[in-house]
Structure 1
Amino acid sequence: MADSTDGIAALARRLGQIRVRHEGLVAGLTGSVASGKTTLARGLADVLDDTYRVETMSTDGFLYPNAVLAERDLTLRKGFPETYDTGAIGDALEALARGQADFPGYSHVTYDIDPALTRTIAQPDILILEGLGFRPLSPPPRPEREPDLLIYLDATEDDLLAWFLERFVRLWNAAREDATSFYANFLHMSEPELLVFAQSVWERINLPNLREHIAPLKEHADIVLLKARDHTLAIVEDRLA
């Protein structure tokens, strides 16, 4: 039976083939909140590291800080396109193409930009830039300020909700040992109360963002990967073939 490693291996092979035509390949990877983009990026790096110099970065570091979002009345829209500094993303990719670039970091514990997590990297063979904040890419050949290709990690809305709730509960439990965690704000809740709250967050914020801004990128993606409830992965569209 196929499993997630089969899909990761297939996508890694495909990126290796594309890398032959692109020195310093930048692969954008997007999909819904809770779809597993970070896990997929790490899995791809683990496979590709045997052959290539690979770096993984998240677009989360290009979110505007919480103070800026609050000032602009965007706190409850975090993750929507207008909450990302897309100019800074382009600047970083352009700098990387010329040698090296700084990539800011985001803490999912404090739920804010963390300057201590900034990383400076030299141009790798393959950069996997995962997260939200992407726009449809220009027709090839693409400028240095854009990824060379866009991968979309697809899943059903029911599966995405289940994974979102699982992650919310996991981070909530971890907050019992870390008073600085954003999720410590919810420790006064019982688990059933937390699940009701988390589902409301999904329905008010993440689901509208998915439907209005993230899912439409699937039609513009170069490669579409489908993830099932059991985490099986398969390439279902390859528009670069």
Structure 2
Amino acid sequence: MDRRIDSSLSPYRTFSRDGWAALRRDTPMTLRPDDIARLEGINAHLSIGEVEEIYLPLSRLLSLYVAATQKLFRAMSYFLDQKDTEREGEGKMPYIIGIAGSVAVGKSTTARVLQALLARWPNTPKVDLVTTDGFLFPNAVLKREGLMDKKGFPESYDLPLLLRFLTDIKAGRRQVRAPLYSHFFYDVMPDQVVEVERPDILIVEGLNVLQTTRPPKDSKAIPFVSDFFDFSIYIDAEEEVLEDWYVSRFMRLRATAFRDPLSYFHRYSQLTDEGARERALSIWRTINLPNLKDNILPTRQRADLILRKAGDHEVAEVSLRRL
């Protein structure tokens, strides 16, 4: 029996780069070249063309989705015939966008570009950005539990704290706080927080934000992080490309941030070029690649939008989930 599945049955519509770029329509370019330069990642060049052809159409799509979601929220409020006192009658709900993908794939750059574009809509919404790094358990806890080599895996996050944060955001509460993470010190910073004050849009970026668990046998509800998302994006690339990007980023950091004696990774700055490359490959193949295969990549098909990158870090193909 032929078990091949007809591509027309896919839950996604897939666009070439040119096909997706055409969907920009008349969306204006609101970022200047110096804005784009500031948004670039450590190891990823961000071109004006990439913003115009990939992110402006996405910004247009999101503007339509946000408007539709707010209309649905008002319809629900009308149906319930009651005011939400937690929102103090403002009549709107924070729209949450989740961004997932591997280490070194460019999640942070995508998040920053979207934040900049969305904040420049004509109605100038308040757009905040939070990474799930802050919800990692502190290193002291990870060491005690034997999880330092599993940092970034689902079990290394304080999931109840993250779920409480998202619950408070969706409830429209004021001054919701998220822990602050430092990549320089490679740890959650004690007594330091990021304060989120009732945003119109919140972007949540992290490795495992689309992760699920097995359904409980007792049928009790267990929320997932993605349950709070109104729209989700997965940034995709081939494994060998991701490995090359990770090693290149490691080597660049070794020549810059790692040279500071206070950096957690300062010891790597003392390695030879060959030794540093070998160390980067070892970290990738023993930690980041298993996390990608076992935990991150399996969540790709849960995303509303998949951005597939080529080796030059530019998006070559876009898949949008059908409604």
- Normalised TM-score (structure 1): 0.91
SS at match of 1:104: strand
Partners of 1:154 and 1:225 within 8 A in 2: yes
Higher relative contact order (CA 8 A, sep 6+): 1
SS at match of 2:256: helix
Number of aligned positions between the proteins: 238
- The AA in structure 2 aligned to 1:32 is S
Partner of 1:237: 319
The counterpart of 2:113, out of the listed 43, 52, 74, is 43
User: Unaligned stretches of 5+ in structure 2?
Assistant: 1-16, 19-48, 71-92, 216-223
For 2:272 and 2:226, locate their aligned partners in 1 and report how far apart those are by CA, in whole Å. 49
Report the RMSD for the aligned CA atoms in angstroms: 2.3
For 1:35 and 1:143, locate their aligned partners in 2 and report how far apart those are by CA, in whole Å. 21
Distance 1:47 1:175, change over 3 A: closer
- The AA in structure 2 aligned to 1:24 is P
Are 2:173 and 1:99 equivalent residues in the alignment? yes
SS at match of 2:318: strand
Runs of 4+ in 1 over 6 A off after TM superposition: 142-145
Distance 1:143 1:60, change over 3 A: closer
Q: Which moved more, 1:11-20 or 1:103-112?
A: 11-20
Percentage of matched positions with identical amino acids: 36
The counterpart of 1:171, out of the listed 253, 272, 278, is 253
Deviations 1:97-125 (A, max 9, x none): 23231011111111111136511111211
The counterpart of 2:127, out of the listed 54, 58, 67, is 54
The counterpart of 2:153, out of the listed 59, 80, 89, is 80
Partners of 1:92 and 1:102 within 8 A in 2: yes
For 1:187 and 1:62, locate their aligned partners in 2 and report how far apart those are by CA, in whole Å. 28
For 2:247 and 2:128, locate their aligned partners in 1 and report how far apart those are by CA, in whole Å. 29
SS at match of 2:265: helix
User: Unaligned stretches of 5+ in structure 1?
Assistant: none
Partner of 2:50: 4
Q: Which moved more, 1:72-81 or 1:178-187?
A: 178-187
Partner of 2:267: 185
Deviations 1:135-170 (A, max 9, x none): 2499xxx99962223211111111111111111112
The counterpart of 2:242, out of the listed 160, 164, 167, is 160
For 1:176 and 1:213, locate their aligned partners in 2 and report how far apart those are by CA, in whole Å. 28
For 2:259 and 2:272, locate their aligned partners in 1 and report how far apart those are by CA, in whole Å. 17
Deviations 1:159-212 (A, max 9, x none): 111111111112211236521112202122111110011001100000010011
Distance 1:199 1:95, change over 3 A: same
- The AA in structure 1 aligned to 2:194 is R
For 1:116 and 1:38, locate their aligned partners in 2 and report how far apart those are by CA, in whole Å. 24
Partners of 2:309 and 2:317 within 8 A in 1: no
Partner of 1:108: 183
- Normalised TM-score (structure 2): 0.69
Are 2:205 and 1:146 equivalent residues in the alignment? no
Deviations 1:10-44 (A, max 9, x none): 22222211111143110110000000101110011
Distance 1:177 1:193, change over 3 A: closer
For 2:322 and 2:64, locate their aligned partners in 1 and report how far apart those are by CA, in whole Å. 11
- The AA in structure 2 aligned to 1:48 is L
SS at match of 1:128: strand
For 1:76 and 1:144, locate their aligned partners in 2 and report how far apart those are by CA, in whole Å. 25
Partner of 2:76: none
- The AA in structure 1 aligned to 2:164 is D
- The AA in structure 2 aligned to 1:186 is Y
Distance 1:173 1:14, change over 3 A: same
